[in-house]
Amino acid sequence: MSMNMDDLCDELDGLLASGDETGLSLDEVHGFMSAALCGPRVLSFSACVCALVLPGAAGDDDSERELPSRLIELLKALYEDTLRSIDAGSFAPVVACEQGGDGDDMHVDARQWCCGFLMCVEHNRAGWKLESSRVLELLTPIVLLADEREFEQVAAQLQEIDDDSFRQELLEELAESVCAFRKLFRKKPQARRPAGAAARTPKKPRLVR
């Protein structure tokens, strides 16, 4: 696809807003895909589309319903770009931005992206190991930005930072959480060396640019 990602997202945003295929915003779709690609079990593109368009309807006759080809093309491009950015460590969430009344400040709202992410977590709840303290730690900024009441309860306990600054900190942690989830769930357990076996000198990693 020759168009850049900004143009792609603009077109996809318009298609999602004008149609009733998913009932989801671009932010929610990207949040879902982000979790699907950094989580414990990477979902294929077709599995993502099925979960987004027909949640809980796998195997039903309705699952054969065709989506507009252009919508599929744009969703696939977004899926592949999201995967590339996570692998490269350059991931950034797609979130809603609005110009402030004075024309200077930009208001960023990540609630729908976070809701989409949590929707995917719920889709594979058992695999996400929600009993793990590390998983819960990485989910914290996502949960707080998804639920205003949760945010207000935590923000009220913070004396040294105002709400806007706290929200900005959480926004900056979203990309870090996604990349950290990828490393956490892709980490292979180290093989245990047999007793008495000589330790090998580890090779230096090969750097790929």
Helices (H) and strands (E) in the chain — how many of each?
Answer: 8, 2
Residue 24 tokens, joined:
């989801």
Confidence at residue 101, expressed as pLDDT on a 0 to 100 scale = 62
d(CA 75, CA 78): 5
pLDDT above 80 for 17: yes
* Per-position b or e across 95-110, b if 16+ CB within 10 A of its CB: beeeeeeeeeeeeeeb
Domains in the chain (CATH in brackets) are 5-186 (1.20.120.740)
Q: What average pLDDT does range 160-164 have in this prediction?
A: 90
CA 179 to mean position of chain CA atoms: 9
**Tens-digit pLDDT profile for residues 111-142:** 999 999 999 999 999 899 899 999 999 999 99
Q: What is the pTM of this model?
A: 0.82
Q: For the residues 77-86, what does the mean pLDDT come to? A: 96
Reference 135, options 48, 38, 42, 47; nearest CA is 38
Q: So what's the pLDDT on residue 53? A: 81
Q: Mean of the pLDDT values across residues 45-66?
A: 68
89-110 pLDDT, tens digit each: 999 999 988 766 666 677 889 9
Q: Residue 98: enclosing H or E segment and its boundaries?
A: strand 96-99
